Chain A
């Protein structure tokens, strides 16, 4: 069993996101430890990109803070290498296609495999373009995670059949960010996914409250939260890890009840 499927073995999964180097890598490390301790089942690590076209303002600003702080792909790799000495929680990278392409797919994905980064989430790499990195990912045992959106309609089955790791189900239209209400009929999308794959499904985009996380996890196998955590980092900076840990604990408890 790979580490991503293991992440879905502790009841419904809670998957937090944060941007590496926001505001610095030491804070990122403390947050990851606090998240793992608080019951995060898998952690999404954002590698900052200058122009994150799928992100709302909260995560855009995190990218900017991290880049301004001097984070680079090499520094993120060094950081994860050090972290992996004792942190065993499953990790996936969330970034944009150009970060990988520019570094060299073989070199980037090979390093992921070597460091025990279990998957990649690339919001600007849809089904049609996954050939860009899919073979290299498979060779290095790194799951190229597929996203399915409320507008995917006739594409859902096809994407699900070729998916790896887990399915990232986008809860609603638009970019990342906190929403007061999520009104998409996710149950019918999840049904089609289930008919086409045994992989777990986690819902992300717009989730911030325990009640939302519980609802989304009840429909699927887990909830993904980014902007709400990044907001804590924006608010508390280097003091954020304690707040992030407490938040993750609350959210994990909420999805457990789903």
Chain B
């Protein structure tokens, strides 16, 4: 069946949007192997976004942890400071080919919103970003950044006023105005074909890791770690290793205050199968299927679901998913800053945190790659407050 990953995925959306997603699928099928399209996209990724991103050997961290050799895939060095730009440039180019003149997007931490606003500025498109009101407060600087780039930012006050509500509101806006508008979804979620399109545009991460590590070490990594909210940087980091069974693929979910509390966003650890936001996958929900309010210190991982391909990789056992608490992520945020002079996004710090546990258990001849999906400037004020400092942006 089209757009399924095992039992997951599908197109559970209002009829009003069906032709829009079918049109998108058709356009994507037409352009994904089109030479001109790919030449144009590669030029944008290289000249504008700064690809390929570095694969950096974290020597001090390796020495300090005393186990596996640790490499950092530096998506934080991309233009706009996160992996989100990879997908956005692809989708914006596709939207342009489809004759769309307006981009709408949801955003949690603001990284995807900033990336979309950036692409819209570059392509001369109109841009509206939906952001939970709670997140507009947590990430005020990113709100200003989006406005500076010419986007309209709509604070969403419904529900929990976080990422899931921003997705709902963007979907509602798309049903209102679909002819000239492309919904530039930021993660590997939502109705088919989004999980596939976003994965393909993010797969550049694992393609580069593979090439770069083969060049440096002459072999594949033993483990690849990435944080998982919806799961776009993780699927991008995993994709070209899925058929290499020797490579452990580890997704790090946001456990918030712990998976045994209600203040968590660890979907695979605590959720169950459901249908929401256009897809069948795992969701945090109550016994009657009401979507649970979730919590994480990281606005970008604060989502009650997970992309359908991750749900499938979990079902088949090909990838492992581990919960990482706020406290562990904040420790890792500080650790990477002090050890390597790299301030990771608090999202990415979840992957760093698990690597800190895993690396010492692995031999010195083993290779571990952590995707640093974004940079942490945006999080400094929040982490300072978490540590009890009275710092406001």
Interface string of A64-104 (1 = CB under 8 A from B): 00010000111000000000000000000000111111110
In the complex, which residues 1-43 of chain B have their Cβ closer than 8 Å to any Cβ of chain A? 10-20
Interface string of A95-121 (1 = CB under 8 A from B): 011111111000000000000000000
A237 adjacent to chain B (CB < 8 Å): no
In the complex, which residues of chain A have a beta carbon less than 8 angstroms from the beta carbon of B278?
A: 124
Q: Is the CB of B276 within 8 A of A98?
A: yes
For chain A, give the interface size range: 35 or more
Most B C-beta atoms less than 10 A away, residue of A67, A126, A174 = A126
In the complex, which residues of chain A have a beta carbon less than 8 angstroms from the beta carbon of B10?
A: 128-129
B165 adjacent to chain A (CB < 8 Å): yes
Q: How far is the CB of B121 from chain A (nearest CB, A)?
A: 27
Which one of B283-291, B330-338, B384-392 is at the A interface?
Answer: B283-291
Offer 6 A-B interface pairs, CB within 8 angstroms, sorted by A: A73-B288, A98-B283, A124-B12, A151-B18, A151-B20, A173-B178
Q: Give complex CA distance A60, B171 in Å.
A: 14
Q: Is the CB of B15 within 8 A of A173?
A: no
B176's partner among A125, A155, A175 (CB-CB below 8 A) is A175
Q: Is the CB of B168 within 8 A of A51?
A: yes
Q: Is the CB of A147 within 8 A of B14?
A: yes
A181 adjacent to chain B (CB < 8 Å): no
Q: How far is the CB of A30 from chain B (nearest CB, A)?
A: 24
Q: Is the CB of B16 within 8 A of A173?
A: yes
B15's partner among A49, A97, A127 (CB-CB below 8 A) is A127
A126 touching B13 in the complex, CB below 8 Å, given contacts A173-B176, A173-B177? yes
Chain B residues proximal to chain A, CB less than 8 Å: 10-20, 158-159, 164-165, 168, 171-172, 175-178, 272-278, 283, 285, 287-291
In the complex, which residues of chain B have a beta carbon less than 8 angstroms from the beta carbon of A51?
A: 159, 164-165, 168, 276-277, 291
Q: Give complex CA distance A124, B274 in Å.
A: 13
Q: Give complex CA distance A67, B165 in Å.
A: 17
Q: Give complex CA distance A123, B14 in Å.
A: 5
In the complex, which residues of chain B have a beta carbon less than 8 angstroms from the beta carbon of A132?
A: 275
Q: Give complex CA distance A148, B172 in Å.
A: 17
Q: Give complex CA distance A89, B37 in Å.
A: 58
Q: Give complex CA distance A57, B142 in Å.
A: 26
In the complex, which residues of chain B have a beta carbon less than 8 angstroms from the beta carbon of A74?
A: 288
Q: Is the CB of B16 within 8 A of A151?
A: yes
In the complex, which residues of chain B have a beta carbon less than 8 angstroms from the beta carbon of A151?
A: 15-20, 178
In the complex, which residues of chain A have a beta carbon less than 8 angstroms from the beta carbon of B273?
A: 101
Q: Is the CB of B14 within 8 A of A126?
A: yes
In the complex, which residues of chain B have a beta carbon less than 8 angstroms from the beta carbon of A98?
A: 274-276, 283, 285, 289, 291
In the complex, which residues of chain A have a beta carbon less than 8 angstroms from the beta carbon of B15?
A: 123, 126-127, 146-149, 151-152, 155, 159, 170
